[in-house]
Structure 1
């Protein structure tokens, strides 16, 4: 389904209003909302924190091809004490990015255009020699779930729910610590 620009957003682009990116990252320690300017910005019922040049998003490609794209959200200059307490289990949470335009009074033009609707995959931290800490969260768009292994293990109990008369999985726990000699026949 094609996404369309609202008339107000299209007019703001034609009028060459200042562009901003707004990123919303669902994190286990709380949803982060940031924008590419300086200071707080009120939009969509939330306060968005300005990251200026400290926040980056890898280039976003808009294509009709069925490809898996990895997008990285990076915040440089994070407080090391705060980073040390961050929960790093971000897998399967959402990351969104909107392209917006600013009105003359500093508000965002209604109906900012969503350019990214991604699923978060992993989070990493790095520190430079001067002590600056960067937090990077990788996200994937498209059909990336088709390209990775399932995070499940089938147990005997789950198997019996589906196949009540099959007891084959009962033997697996006995094989777990067994040493077998494989020979040619």
Structure 2
């Protein structure tokens, strides 16, 4: 994360320059960049698409406690044809949010403050009666990975990568389809 706040951002906040959010979501179909205004915005050498009232990020909380926070990146009124092409495997990708200000010329004040650096977990869709689709991507911040079960099984190949001379797991694959009679001794 960026430093808490820089002099330029503090000065823009003191002068009550217009506030907005920048959101970057690393999606399997390409990184998406949105800002909470309307139209296109250039920042950091990239183009950010205005989501206006159609985009939300909820809830964003700042706390000094070590807690797991869940937040949702949502976009409403998306064309169903676009949604049909999206890959939904977003797990373990990054989602970031910055608080930013506009200067008098309509440019982003240097050094927006990063307020979220989250790991995406899953994506869901909803449909309205008008036929538009909403996308919601749930993300988690903090130490939630400590509470999540591992997504892998130890194999003989992984064992040999760490311990090349160990053959203890070589017979596991042969045991998978075997019927064994367990009797008390």
Q: Same fold (TM over 0.5)?
A: yes
**Secondary structure of the equivalent of 1:88?**
coil
Say whether 1:80 aligns with 2:80. yes
Superimposed CA distance per residue, residues 11-41 of structure 1 (whole angstroms, 9 cap, x where no aligned partner): 1111111110000111111111101111111
Task: List aligned pairs for 1:153-168, cutoff 5 A.
Answer: 153-168=153-168
Task: List aligned pairs for 1:118-129, cutoff 5 A.
Answer: 118-129=118-129
TM-score, normalised relative to structure 2: 0.90
Partner of 1:97: 97
Where does structure 1 lack aligned partners over 5 or more consecutive residues?
A: none
Change (3 A) 1:159 1:38: same
164-173 or 39-48: which moved more?
A: 164-173
Distance in structure 1 (CA, Å) of the matches to 2:21 and 2:161 = 48
Change (3 A) 1:149 1:15: same
Task: List aligned pairs for 1:33-182, cutoff 5 A.
Answer: 33-179=33-179
Distance in structure 1 (CA, Å) of the matches to 2:112 and 2:15 = 15
Change (3 A) 1:18 1:183: farther
**Secondary structure of the equivalent of 2:30?**
coil
- The Cα of 1:3 is off from its aligned counterpart by 3.0
Distance in structure 1 (CA, Å) of the matches to 2:169 and 2:132 = 51
The Cα RMSD (Å) is 2.1
**Secondary structure of the equivalent of 1:135?**
strand
80-89 or 171-180: which moved more?
A: 171-180
Distance in structure 2 (CA, Å) of the matches to 1:183 and 1:66 = 50
TM-score, normalised relative to structure 1: 0.90
Where does structure 2 lack aligned partners over 5 or more consecutive residues?
A: none
161-170 or 16-25: which moved more?
A: 161-170
Change (3 A) 1:128 1:184: farther
Distance in structure 2 (CA, Å) of the matches to 1:120 and 1:104 = 35
Distance in structure 1 (CA, Å) of the matches to 2:42 and 2:166 = 59
- The Cα of 1:171 is off from its aligned counterpart by 3.0
